[in-house]
Structure 1
Amino acid sequence: MNALVILAIILLLSMLFVGGRTGLRSFAALFLNFGVLFLMLFFMTNPEVNPIVVTFGASILVGCISLFFTNEVNSKTVLAFVSTLLVTGCMLLFIIYFSETMMIQGFGEEEADSLSGLSLYIGVDFMKVGASVIIVSTIGAILDVAISITSSIHELNKHNSMLRTKELASAGMHVGRDILGADANTLFFAFFGGHLALLLWFKDLQYSIGDIVNSKVFSSELLLILCAGIGVALVIPIASWMSAWYLVKDLSTKRNN
């Protein structure tokens, strides 16, 4: 049996064991998200379509699948979804601006051999494609933190409904600080592990630190890490205060009725 099939079966069994029906939906969500990304790539190859607009639409679909399909529609997932959209919308302009400023579009010297003999006139704006890559790469981390914060605050409110808005938001911020440190390290090691061979190649080519930092490959990945970190940092207070305000208002409405 193919090794990938065996690993997929092990993943499915693990998710079923830990999450039950939710784990099964999470496993199915992986393939649905893959389909969304495939369609996104299909539309991005059309020169008349803005890749950033397509990516933002794909991010909305990924958020719906990851939150509503996996965890069903409830106050936790809705608040996490709204928080993610707000942060992604704020980060969109930020990502576009710095993508243009750092000029990460195009190919670097390291890719010259692979591209030799190929036509580069394919009608695609590589700056927008680079910005789209950053958006897709950050949406997962933002979604993860958003649902973690909203779930924590809902669970806290469930056990102590007398807490006020400020107290619930403060608790969410405390949880978020722990998540922020872990996610920052996760993003860094994901980059380092994914580009370990490239970094070793840079060393063999005797690149200086300045050459490495200013290379397109390194700068684009560094921009990705920084943008993802900023997105994670922004979603923590937004998700915390939105969840706290909603829960206190909802409880007040129920008492008045």
Structure 2
Amino acid sequence: MKLLSLTSAKKSSLKFTFLAMMLLVILLVNIADILPTYQQPIGKIIAIDESGVPNSNLSPFIDYKQNLTIKLLTEDSLYNTIYIENSFSYSQAFSNRYEVGQILILRKTTNSAEVTYDIVNIKRDSQMVSLLIIFAFLAVLIGGKQGAKSLASVLLNFGVVFLVMFLYRNNVSIYLLAPISVIIFIFTSMTLVTGFNKKTLAASLGTGIGLLFAIATAYFTFMFTGSHGVNYQEMDITISSPVELFYFQLVIGTLGAIMDIAVSIASSIEEMIGTSPDISRKNLMASGRKIGNDIMGTMTNTLILAYLSGSIPVILLMLKSGISLDYIMNVSLSLEILRGVIGSIGIVISIPITIVISIALLNKTHQKEAL
């Protein structure tokens, strides 16, 4: 009893120590706002004159002006306080309406004896880092070692995505990068979290086959239709092949959803076999299908809504401009709908495949252990 109390006290002490470290790091990150560690000037708004701006009912057809008084925080110069005129619109699509107390990133321009400053953007890096620290703390506090492994997996995958984009930008084929990145994603996401075992192997195989089926569906769709009905307008600003980018987006967007379902099914089947050693394959298949059907609906909705959410501002702008829904569906939603439908097909196919593979691997392993 005393040993359990000591163990519990030790865990509580570690949690409080970890919490104190998190708060200290957040404090240091926010204090860094006033340290001279930035290449660009940093300033804080100490006063605003909005004499020409109404208190409410801003017009979408008028540009309004603010006269900002800004105190420089990172420059040791005679210009400790500067004044900048800022123009902003009702939508604030290309400008911001600033408030007292906000910290800004500035651009300094020197012409002969004249020094001028322009606003680059609001400085948000300290808040973003603070949120990331809180996320990391909660992941480790609630998930323990598994939470730390999941966090490491997210960071590795995030780095892989940027590495792939960098290599692709330097003329490395996306058809080479995509399968390599998929293998890395599956390895880091599953092996780090669930370990290297039969359950991980079953989930990985189910994920890989489901993803290949989704890619094959996209390929044959384009081959038979000649990409008719698919509008790549949102990719016109890139210098890369829209079709290649579509495939890469499909892989990245669909992979996470399929992995989630595959791991859930493999874990459920492993648990059923462990708690009921005498369960038949027929009952395992029936239970696996029921679990898969429950997950399939929510995950398909999640995937489609995630794709559509990025187009909401453009859709609202087009609707407000009187553009027809048919044109919006063709121009702004064709890619999102196609990615969502093809990804959903991959999700649906991965369910029975993962069930069959999990039963074949895990049930066979359990029978050998029983013998």
With the shorter chain as reference, the TM-score category is: 0.7 to 0.9
**Alpha-carbon shift at residue 188 of structure 1 (Å):** 3.0
Q: Is the contact made by 2:285 and 2:355 (CA closer than 8 Å) also made in structure 1? A: yes
Which residue of structure 1 lines up, in the alignment, with residue 289 of structure 2?
Answer: 173
Alignment match, 1:4: 128
How far has the Cα of 1:87 moved from its partner? 1.4
Structure 1 runs of 4+ aligned residues shifted over 6 Å read none
**Partner amino acid, structure 1, of 2:198:** S
Q: Percent identity over the alignment?
A: 27
Identify the match of residue 242 of structure 1 among 350, 357, 365: 357
* SS at structure 1 position matched to 2:233: coil
Instruction: Answer yes or no: is the 8 Å Cα contact 1:169–1:243 preserved in 2.
Output: no
Q: Give the structure, 1 or 2, with the largest relative contact order (CA under 8 Å, sep 6 or more).
A: 1
Distance 1:133 1:190 in 2: 12
Q: Name structure 1 gaps, 5 residues minimum.
A: none
For 1:65, what is the secondary structure of its paired residue? helix
Aligned to 2:105: none
Relative to the length of structure 1, the TM-score reads 0.87
Given that residues 165 and 245 in structure 1 are in contact (C-alpha distance below 8 angstroms), is that contact kept between their aligned partners in structure 2?
no
Give the match for residue 220 of structure 1.
335
C-alpha RMSD of the superposition = 2.0
For 1:193, the equivalent position in structure 2 comes to 309
**Alignment check: 8 A CA contact 1:99 1:127 kept:** no
The letter for the 2-side match of 1:136 is I
Identify the structure with the greater strand proportion.
Answer: 2
Partner of residue 34 from structure 1, selected from 148, 155, 158? 158
Following superposition, the deviation at residue 80 of structure 1 comes to 0.5
- Aligned partner of 1:132 among 228, 242, 248: 248
How many residues are paired up?
244
Instruction: Answer whether contact 1:29 1:69 (CA < 8 A) is retained.
Output: yes
Q: Secondary structure at the match of 1:250?
A: helix
Corresponding residue for 1:62?
185
Q: Hey, what's the Cα distance between the residues in 2 that align with 1:155 and 1:255?
A: 15
For residues 97 and 18 of structure 1, what CA distance do their matches in structure 2 show? 44
Amino acid at match of 2:160: V
1:16 aligns with 2:140: yes
Aligned partner (choices 244, 261, 267) of residue 145 of structure 1: 261
CA deviation string 1:37-63 (max 9, x = no partner): 11111222244x431331122111111
TM-score by length of 2: 0.62
Label 1:105 to 1:212 Cα distance change in 2 as closer, same or farther (>3 A). closer
Which string of whole-angstrom CA distances, capped at 9 and with x for unpartnered residues, describes residues 16-72 of structure 1? Answer: 12210110111111110011111111222244x431331122111111100001221
Q: Which has the larger share of helix?
A: 1
Structure 1 pair 99–14 and aligned structure 2 pair: CA distance change class (3 A):
farther
